[in-house]
């Protein structure tokens, strides 16, 4: 069997998707006879027909159906390679500030992929609370910051809205205890103004059972049955669930997740990282529609 030609695969897919050699020729900006010839060459290479010719077009044979997913993978990989090789290499440092909530969920793969793809870029990540990230931007210590804006006052590019909700362990069901054990942040205005106020308005008998400074600690508390905790909906750990109004727990806030930039300027590397962050949060943004 001869090696399969990628150009023949493109013609094959065009015919398979359109159901017509004529329509495929229009997509590929080729003549109908040229596309027919390429399909014929591919069929000869494989030693069997890929289409059944009908009066109003063509349909795939069983062997043609089998070839489709392979052809899509080959063509997609070639297109990806072409884009990557044509990109202008990015160089220089990129300093990114992210909230702890997303340091173990949404962003690790995105940041690692960017770092691997652009070897000339030195990526450094700062994990901290939103107020500290804003201060770091103003002090020229980072170039980009992903922050929470629960008061809807921060400027920047909206990445998504990720509500803060009460979370409990499915196994331990901490929310059924009295008083309810709760995880809180150390000396946090948000924790005082939103978390504690939310509990008090509900008239829930609760106690501070776990105190820490990072959301990662909240996830540990919930998973191990120590407390319920306020977490961003997208970061609920496996084995845990959101407490809803049916459980007696409304949403704590509807925080905007915002991308803010260093006001002193940007660079191609920084803009490349901004695009990665935008894409990482796209599923959360699109899922909310």
User: Domain residues of the chain, as ranges?
Assistant: 6-86, 92-160+256-287, 164-247
Residue percentage of the chain with pLDDT more than 90: 50
258 confidence band (pLDDT: 50, 70, 90) = very high
Lookup: tokens for 199: 């509990």
**Residue 179: cis peptide before it, omega within 30 degrees of 0:** yes
How does the average pLDDT of the chain come out, rounded? Answer: 88
**Position 289 pLDDT exceeds 50:** no
- Considering the domain delimited by 92-160+256-287, tell me its CATH architecture: 3-Layer(aba) Sandwich (3.40)
- Considering the domain delimited by 6-86, tell me its CATH architecture: Orthogonal Bundle (1.10)
**Position 158 pLDDT exceeds 90:** yes
Average pLDDT over residues 241-251: 94
d(CA 104, CA 152): 25
Average pLDDT over residues 247-274: 91
Chain-centre distance of CA 222, in angstroms?
24
pTM of the predicted protein model:
0.67
For the chain, the distance separating the N- and C-terminal CA atoms, rounded to the nearest angstrom, is 49
Lookup: tokens for 184: 């809180």
Give the pLDDT confidence of 11-27 residue by residue, as tens digits. Answer: 999 999 989 898 888 88
Q: Give 19: exposed, middle or buried? Use CB within 10 Å, 0-12, 13-18, 19+.
A: middle
d(CA 248, CA 204): 9
Average pLDDT over residues 136-154: 92
Average pLDDT over residues 128-133: 91
- The residue written with tokens 């909530």 in the block is 101
- 51-54 and 57-60 beta bridge pairing: antiparallel
Q: Do domains 92-160+256-287 and 164-247 have the same CATH topology?
A: yes
d(CA 25, CA 271): 38
Give the pLDDT confidence of 67-122 residue by residue, as tens digits. Answer: 999 989 888 888 777 766 665 667 788 999 998 888 888 888 788 878 777 878 88
Query: In terms of Cα–Cα distance, which of 241, 232, 243, 233 is closest to 204?
Result: 243
Residues 213 and 184: beta-carbon distance below 8 Å: no
pLDDT at 178: 94
* H-helix or E-strand spanning residue 167: strand 164-169
**Position 2 pLDDT exceeds 60:** no
pLDDT at 139: 94
pLDDT at 109: 77
- What φ, ψ does residue 226 adopt, rounded to 5°? -90, -30
d(CA 209, CA 227): 6
Any idea what the Cα angle at residue 92 is, between residues 133 and 86, rounded to 5°?
120
Give the pLDDT confidence of 179-220 residue by residue, as tens digits. Answer: 999 999 988 888 888 899 889 988 999 999 999 988 889 999
Q: Which residues pair with 166 in a beta bridge?
A: 230, 243
Instruction: State which fold the 164-247 domain adopts.
Output: D-Maltodextrin-Binding Protein; domain 2 (3.40.190)
Task: Bin 127: left if φ > 0, else alpha if -120 < ψ < 50, else beta.
Answer: beta
Residues 48 and 63: beta-carbon distance below 8 Å: yes
* H-helix or E-strand spanning residue 164: strand 164-169
């Amino acid at each position: 069997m001869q090696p399969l030609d990628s150009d023949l695969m493109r013609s094959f897919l065009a015919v398979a998707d359109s159901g017509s050699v004529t329509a495929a020729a229009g997509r590929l900006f080729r003549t109908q006879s040229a596309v027919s010839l390429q399909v014929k060459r591919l069929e000869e290479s494989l030693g069997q027909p890929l289409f059944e010719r009908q009066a109003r077009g063509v349909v795939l044979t069983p062997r043609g159906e089998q070839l489709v997913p392979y052809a899509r993978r080959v063509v997609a990989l070639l297109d990806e390679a072409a884009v990557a090789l044509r990109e202008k290499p990015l160089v220089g440092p990129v300093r990114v500030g992210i909230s702890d909530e997303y340091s173990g969920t949404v962003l690790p793969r995105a940041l690692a992929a960017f770092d691997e793809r652009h070897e000339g870029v030195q990526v450094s990540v700062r994990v901290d609370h939103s107020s500290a990230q804003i201060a770091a931007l103003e002090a020229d210590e980072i170039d980009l910051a992903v922050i929470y804006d629960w008061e809807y006052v921060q400027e920047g590019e909206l990445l998504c809205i990720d509500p803060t909700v009460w979370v409990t362990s499915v196994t331990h069901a901490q929310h059924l205890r009295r008083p309810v054990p709760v995880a809180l942040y150390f000396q946090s205005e948000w924790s005082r103004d939103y978390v504690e106020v939310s509990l008090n308005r509900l008239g829930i008998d609760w106690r501070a059972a776990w105190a820490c400074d990072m959301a990662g600690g909240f996830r540990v508390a919930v998973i191990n049955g120590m407390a319920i905790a306020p977490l961003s909906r997208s970061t609920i750990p496996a084995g845990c669930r959101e407490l809803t109004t049916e459980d007696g727990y409304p949403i704590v806030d509807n925080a905007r997740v915002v991308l803010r930039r260093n006001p002193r300027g940007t660079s191609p590397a920084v803009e490349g990282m901004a695009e990665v962050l935008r894409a990482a949060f796209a599923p959360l943004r699109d899922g909310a529609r």
